[in-house]
Structure 1
Amino acid sequence: MRLAAAGEAAGSGWSSADSADLTLSGLRMSALLRVWHLLAVWTLLAASSSSQWNGLNAVDFSERFGNALPSLSRPANASQIFYSIMFDAGSTGTRIHVYTFIQKEPDGLPVLDNEMFHSMKPGLSAFADIPEIAGHTVRQLLRVAKKTVPPVEWKRTPVLFRATAGLRLLPPEKAHALLEEVQDVFDESPFYVPVDSVSIMNGTNEGILAWVTVNFLTGRLHRNAQKTVGILDLGGGSTQITFLPKSRKTVESAPADYMVRFDMFSSTYELYTHSYLGNGIKAARLSALGALGSEGLEKKVFQSSCLPKKYAGEFSFGGFSYHVSGVSDGVTGFRACSQELLTVVKGIIKQPLELKDSSTFYAFSYYFDHAVEAGLIDESRGGAVKIRDFRKRAKEVCNRPSERTQLNPFLCMDLTYIVCLLKDGFGFKESTVLQLTKKVRNVETSWALGAAIYHFQKFKEHVQSNNPKHFLSEEEFVQLRVELANANKPSGDDAPGEELPPGTEDLPDPAKRVTEIENMRHKVIETRQEVFNHNEHEVSKRWAFEEGIKRPYFHVKALEKTQLNNWREYLDFELENGTPERVVVLFERCLIACALYEEFWIKGMACLPHKI
C-alpha cells in the first residue's frame, strides 16, 4: 500500500458545510473562479513543495500534497487538453472536482475550461467498520471522472484525495483502513496515481490556509499586515480560529503550538491558530448529550434540555446512530440549554487576550448555515451579524419552539452552542460583529485557494533548490538551454556560438555549468512570475463586477436593478477589454442568470452571432 502519513490520525472538522446530495454541475466557471481554481490545481501539478512553515510549528506541505506531476509525452507545439481530479473528503460528505485544462501556449499557464462537481453523503467515516462501502462511494464518484475525462487521457490524469474531519476523529487503525481502501480503489482505477495521493490533512493547515484564502480575496495580504482579518471555521467534527495578533501579550501568553510563522508576499506572518478537535457542531451535540464514548447505543436514549420536550428521534454522526429525546418532565429553554453546552467549551477553548477588544473576523461553514436557517442573514448575500444577534435568536428558538424547531429539532442546541463557543469559549464580546459568508468575490471560503497561493509562493524556493533537469522535461530543458545560449551569443550573423552537449548532459566547464543552471532558474521564475502577475492584474480589474453578482444561477424571481446594471457594465467592460474567450464565457454566465431578460439575448446574438 502507498499511503501518505495520516497526519493527526484522529481528526478535526470539515472546514465547509454539508455538501448537497448528488449535486452535479457542468457549467463553465466565472472568470475569477477560472483563474484561482486553475492556480489551485496547477500548483499541485507543478512540483512537490518540500518547504515548511518556518518557526514554532512546522508543517510539511509536501507530506500533505505530494508530487502530482505525470510525465508528458506530447510534442511541444501541440495544443494540449488535460485533466485533474481532486477529492475533498469531510465529516459529512465527500466531494469530487474534475477539472479540464487547455494548454494553448507552451510558455503560459493552462486555462481552466471546465469543472465537473459531484458530492455524496454521508462522509467516509460513517463506514469506519465497513471500509469496503467507503471504497464503493469513491468508485461511484470516479464514474463522474470517467464520464468527463476521455479514455485516452485517463493514464495522464492525476487523482488526489484529501480527508479532513471525519477520518481524524476515528481511531488510527480505522482511519488507516479507510485510507487503504481508497488507495486500493485509486490503484485499480485507470487514472494516474501520484505518490502520497491519499492522505489526511492536518487541522492546523485548514485554519492557516483558510486565513490565507480570505485575506487574499479581500486584498489584505498586499497591504499593512495589521489590517488582516481573522477567520472562524465551524465544521462537523472540529472548529478552527486563526488571526494575526496585534498584541505581543497575545503571542507571549499563547501555548507554543498555537503560534505559527510563515512567509508570503515578502512578508512574515506569525499567526495565532488552533483546531479544536471534538468541538465541531455535531461533535458538540454528542458531548452535550453525554454520548461520547458510550457503548450499547441501541439500548440507550440520550436526553437534552436543548431538544423539544416531546421530541424523540435519532442522530447519526461518525458512523454511529444515537437515540435522543427531549426532557419531558425537566426544565428546558435557553438557560438550561446554555448550562449543558458551557461544559463543552469551558476549560477546553482558550481565550486569546485581544479578542475582548474590537476585531474583524470572517465566519463560515456551520456559522453561516445556521445563521441562514435562523433567519439572521440571506443565503445568497451573507451579511454582518453581532454575537448578541445569535444569542437573541437562540433564546427565541429555545424558549418558544416554532416551525423552525419542527424542521430542525437541534436548532436550539446548535445556536446556543455557537453563542457559548464564541462568547464563553473564545471570549468575544456580544457586540462583536462577524462577517458571515460562504464565498468572497464568488470564490468559496475554504483551504484550497490558500494552499494554492502558498504553493505558488514556494514555487520559487523549489526552483532555487533543485537542478532544472529535475523539474523540467527533457524537451523543455533542451529548448530552454538553446534559447539561453542564443540569447548570450555576441551580436552579428556570423558570431560563433558554443556547441551544446546533446540532451540534458552537463556542460563540460564547471563554471559555465553553474552559470547555466542559475540562468535557467532565473528564467523559469521570471516566466512564471510574469504569468502570475498578469493573472492577478486581470482578476483585480474584475473583482468589483464579480462581487456585484449576487445570483449567478437561474431563478424565476426578478433580479434587482443593481444586479442587472452590474451585468450590463461587466459585459461592456469585457467586450472592450477582454479576450474572445473571456467574452464568450461571461455571456454564457450572464445568459444563465439573466435568462428572462431579452436584452441580454439580443446583445449576445449581436456580439456573438456564431455562439448564441
Structure 2
Amino acid sequence: MRVSRRFTILAITAMIFLSLIICIYAVAAHTTVNVILQEQERSYGVICDAGSTGTRLFVYNWVSTSDSELIQIEPVIYDNKPVMKKISPGLSTFGTKPDEAAEYLRPLMELAELHIPEDKRPYTPVFIFATAGMRLIPDEQKEAVLTNLRTELPKITSMQVLKEHIRIIEGKWEGIYSWIAVNYALGKFNRTFTPDFPGTSPGQQRSKTVGMIDMGGASAQIAFELPDNDDFNSINVENINLGCREDDSLFRYKLFVTTFLGYGVNEGIRKYEKTLMAKLKDLNGTVIQDDCMPLNLHKTVTMENGEKFVRRGTGNWDTCAAEVKKLLNPETSSEVCKAEAAKCYFGAVPAPNIPLSNVEMYGFSEYWYSTHDVLGLGGQYNAENIAKKSEQYCGQRWSTIQAASKKNLYPRADEERLKTQCFKSAWITSVLHDGFSVDKTHNKFQSVSTIAGQEVQWALGAMIYHMRFFPLRDSTRNLIVKETHSASESLWAPLFFLSAVFCLFVLVCAKEHSLLCFDDKRRGPFGITRSQYSYKILKDNTTFYKDIA
C-alpha cells in the first residue's frame, strides 16, 4: 500500500502543477493581448470648443479593435480628472487682431502635449471648432482668424493640424454632436439583440436612443431620432452615420435637429427688457414694476440705444411665467405652421408628429443650472415642484436672499444667478412646455449635468463623429489582434482535453489498483515483482515475435 499512496500523492501533485500551468498560460495570453491593445492600438485626439466667452480644450484617447464597432473614446485622465482647460476671452475677440489668434491657443496646445506620448503626437489630430461668437463677427474677420490658425498653429505644435479641422460650425451641428455624446455616454450605441426602436429591423440590433435639449445663453438646440419609416421631410432632418463603413446601416441614424437662435436664457432676458421698455414709454416713466425679480431687487438697464430704466422686483412668479410665455410667440410664421393641423415648435418651425412627452429627453446647461443651483430640483423633471419652489424663492425680499447666501444656503449660485433665477426658471419651463409642447404632468424629461460620472460635452460627440473612419486605417493591425485572440483561444481545447485524460487515468488507477498502475499488492498473487513483471512482458513479446517468424 506504501507505493500506491506515494503514487496518489504524486498524481495529485501533478494535477495541481498542471492546473497552475494552465492558469499561468491563461494570464500570460490575456496579458499579451492587453499589451498589444494598450501600447500599440491607443490613439489620441484634441478638440477645442471655441465659444463666445472662451475656448476649452479636451483631450481624448481610444482603442480601435474592430471595424464593426464604434471606437471606445474616453477623456484622458490626470490626477483623477479629465484633462480640460479653459482660456479667455473668446476667439471672436481676435477678429480685430487676427495675427495673435494662434499664439492665444499656445497654452492649450502645450497642455495637450504634456498628456500625449511623444511618438503619438504627429498622429494626433487637432480640431478647432468655433461656435456662436465667431458666427457673429464680419466675414473678413472670420477668414483672417481662421487663416492665421491654419498657418501658424502647425509651427506651435507637433500634433497633426489640418486645414479642414479648423472651422466655424453651424448651431445644428452643436446639436448633433451633443446628441451623439449623450447617447454614447448612456451606451445607446452598443449592439443589442432586442431592437426596441420602431422602424428598425431585427438585423440592425438597435437600441432606442434618447433626445436632448441644450439651453445656452444665446440659443437652444434640440435633437432626437426619427424612425426610418417616418416620412417627415424638412431641412432640419439629418441622416448621419457613425460607423466606418458607408454600406453598413447599423450606426446610421435619422435625426430631427435644429437650433433656435435668440431662445437662450440671456437672449430671453433681452427680449423681456425690451417689452418692459416699451411699456415704460407708454407710461412716460423710468421705473417699472417687475414680476420676474425677487421682491425689492432693483436693476438699472441700459438699452442698446443708450436709454436707461430701472426694474423693481415684485416677486410674483406666476405673473412672470405668464408674461414670459408671450415672448415665445413668433414674429413671423411659415405657411405650413399657419395650417391648423400642422405641428410646429414655437409656432414657427415645422416639426415631426412625435409627441416629445413620450420621448426620453435630457436637458443640459441652463436646464440643469436653473433647476439645480438655486431650487435644488435637478434630475427628474417635475413642473409642479419647480413652480412651487420658484414662487417661494421669488416671493422673498432680496435682502433675505442675500442674507441666506452669506450663510451659504445657496452654495452653487453666485449673485448673478440669484438675481436672474426668477426669470430663468420661468423661461426654461415655458420653452419646454409652450415651445416644445412637452406635457407638464406626463413626460420623460430630466435635467442632467453629468452622465456616468462625467460631464457631457458636445466635444466628445464631435470627436466620435470625425474619427469614425479611424478603424479602417488600422484594419491590418486589428486583424492581428483578432488572430492573437483566436490563436490563444484555440489552444484551450487541447489543453482541457489533455487535462481530462490525465484526470481520468488517475481516477481509474485509484479505483482499480491495476497492474498498469504498478500496484505491488495486485501483482502479488501472480508471484512476480515489478522487475520480474517487466521482464515477463519483454519475454512474452519475444516469444510472440518468434511465433510470427
User: TM-score under structure 2 normalisation?
Assistant: 0.56
The alpha carbon displacement at 1:326 in A equals 4.8
Matched letter for residue 461 of structure 2: G
CA deviation map 1:577-597 (0-9, x unaligned): xxxxxxxxxxxxxxxxxxxxx
Where does residue 199 of structure 1 map in the other structure? Answer: 167
Cα distance in 2 for partners of 1:412, 1:236 equals: 16
Residues 369 and 136 of structure 1: CA distance in aligned 2, closer, same or farther (over 3 Å): farther
1:549-560 matches, cutoff 5 A: none
Partner of 1:243: 224
Contact 2:48 2:56 in 1 (8 A): yes
Letter in 2 for 1:449: L
Amino acid at match of 1:119: K
1:440 is aligned, of 451, 455, 466, to 451
Q: Decide whether aligned partners of structure 1 residues 129 and 392 sit closer, same or farther in structure 2, where only a CA change above 3 A counts.
A: farther
Q: Deviations over 1:100-139 (max 9, x none)?
A: 8999xxxx99995756321124433355555567556424
Q: Deviations over 1:256-308 (max 9, x none)?
A: 112222345743432222122222222332233339xxxxxxxxx99865345
Q: 1:436 to 1:280 in 2, by over 3 A?
A: same
Deviation at 1:392, TM superposition (A): 3.3
Displacement of 1:162: 1.2
Shift of 1:90: 2.0
Name the counterpart of 1:91: 52
Residue identity over aligned pairs, in percent, reads 25
CA distance in 1, matches of 2:350, 2:446: 22
In the superposition, relative to structure 1, how do residues 450 and 290 fare at CA in structure 2: closer, same or farther (>3 Å)? same
For 1:350 and 1:401, the matched residues in 2 are separated by: 43
Residues 460-479 of structure 1: pairs in structure 2 closer than 5 A = 463=472
Which position in structure 1 is the counterpart of 2:386?
390
Task: Give distance in 1, aligned partners of 2:40 and 2:305.
Answer: 52
Question: For the residues of structure 2 that align with 1:330 and 1:437, how far apart are their CA atoms?
Answer: 31
1:259 maps to which of 237, 244, 247: 237
Q: Which structure has the greater CA radius of gyration?
A: 2
Summarize the Cα distance change of 1:337–1:127 in structure 2 as closer, same or farther, 3 Å threshold: farther
Shift of 1:423: 0.6
Q: 1:191 and 1:286, CA in 2 relative to 1: closer, same or farther beyond 3 A?
A: farther
Inter-partner Cα distance in structure 2 for 1:203 and 1:531: 45
Deviations 1:160-212 (A, max 9, x none): 31122322344434433443454455254243422323112232222223223
Q: Alpha carbons of 1:237 and 1:182: their partners in 2 closer, same or farther (altered >3 Å)? A: farther
What's the counterpart of residue 292 of structure 2?
306
Shift of 1:314: 7.2
| 1:138 pairs with 2:105 | yes
TM-aligned CA deviation for residue 365 of structure 1: 1.7
- In the alignment of these two chains, the number of paired residues is 377
2:214 to 226, 229, 233: 233
Deviations 1:197-228 (A, max 9, x none): 31122322222232233223323333423432
Corresponding residue of 1:342: 326
Describe the superposition over 1:441-484 as per-residue Cα deviations: whole angstroms up to 9, x where unpaired: 23332333334444565456xx4xxxxxxx68xxxxxxxxxxxx
Letter in 1 for 2:440: E
What are the equivalent positions in structure 2 for 1:404-423 lying under 5 Å apart?
407-408=416-417, 409-423=419-433
Gaps in structure 1 of 5+ consecutive residues: 1-38, 43-77, 292-300, 464-470, 473-521, 533-612
Unpaired runs of at least 5, structure 2? 1-36, 65-70, 199-207, 244-248, 276-285, 330-345, 402-409, 486-549
- Asked if structure 1 preserves the Cα contact closer than 8 Å seen for 2:49 and 2:129, the reply is yes
CA contact (8 A) 1:312 1:323 kept: no
Q: How far, CA to CA, are the matches of 1:397 and 1:338 in structure 2?
A: 17
- The code of the aligned residue for 2:257 comes to T
Amino acid at match of 2:292: C
Deviates more, 1:221-230 or 1:130-139: 130-139
Q: How much has 1:369 moved relative to structure 2?
A: 1.8
How far the C-alpha of 1:430 sits from its partner, in A, is 0.7
Q: Does residue 450 of the first structure (1) align with residue 461 of the second (2)?
A: yes
3-state SS in 2 of match to 1:410: helix
Matching residue within 259, 269, 273 for 2:257? 273
**Counterpart secondary structure, 1:219:** coil
1:392 match: secondary structure: helix
Decide which moves more: 108-117 or 266-275: 108-117
Q: Kindly provide the amino acid, as one letter, of the partner of residue 365 in structure 1.
A: S
Give the RMSD, CA atoms, in angstroms.
4.7
Structure 2 CA distance for aligned equivalents of residues 167 and 531 of structure 1: 49
Is the partner of 2:212 in helix, strand or coil?
strand
Is 1:367 aligned to 2:367, yes or no? yes
TM-score by length of 1: 0.51
Q: CA deviation at 1:96?
A: 1.7
Judged with a 3 Å threshold, the aligned counterparts in structure 2 of structure 1 residues 86 and 455 are, in CA distance, closer, same or farther, namely closer
Query: In 2 relative to 1, CA 83–217 (structure 1 residues): closer, same or farther, beyond 3 Å?
Result: closer
One-letter code aligned to 2:429: V
The one-letter code matched in structure 2 to 1:125 is S
User: Which amino acid is 1:372 matched to?
Assistant: H
Cα distance in 2, alignment partners of residues 453 and 287 from structure 1? 37
Q: Partner of 2:131 in structure 1?
A: 164
CA distance in 2, matches of 1:424, 1:336: 14
When residues 228 and 365 of structure 1 are mapped into structure 2, their CA distance, relative to the original with a 3 A threshold, is same
Distance (Å, rounded) in 1 between the aligned partners of 2:396 and 2:124: 55
- Within 2, Cα distance between the matches of 1:137 and 1:315? 32
Kept in 2, the 8 Å contact 1:169–1:237? The answer is no
CA contact (8 A) 2:314 2:395 kept: no
**SS of the residue 1:375 aligns to:** coil
**322 and 81 in structure 1: CA distance in 2 versus 1, 3 angstrom threshold:** farther
The change in CA–CA distance for 1:130 and 1:287 in structure 2 (over 3 A counts) is farther
Decide whether aligned partners of structure 1 residues 82 and 348 sit closer, same or farther in structure 2, where only a CA change above 3 A counts: same
> For 2:367 and 2:53, how far apart are their aligned partners in 1?
16
Once residues 425 and 82 of structure 1 are traced to their aligned partners in structure 2, the CA distance between those partners, rounded to angstroms, is 42
Aligned to 2:497: none
Q: What residue number does 1:124 align with? A: 91
Structure 1 CA distance, aligned partners of 2:484 and 2:91?
Answer: 39
Q: Does the C-alpha gap of structure 1 residues 119 and 263 become closer, same or farther in structure 2, counting only changes over 3 Å?
A: closer
- Mapped partners of 1:327, 1:413: distance in 2: 13
Q: Distance in 2 between matches of 1:449 and 1:531?
A: 31
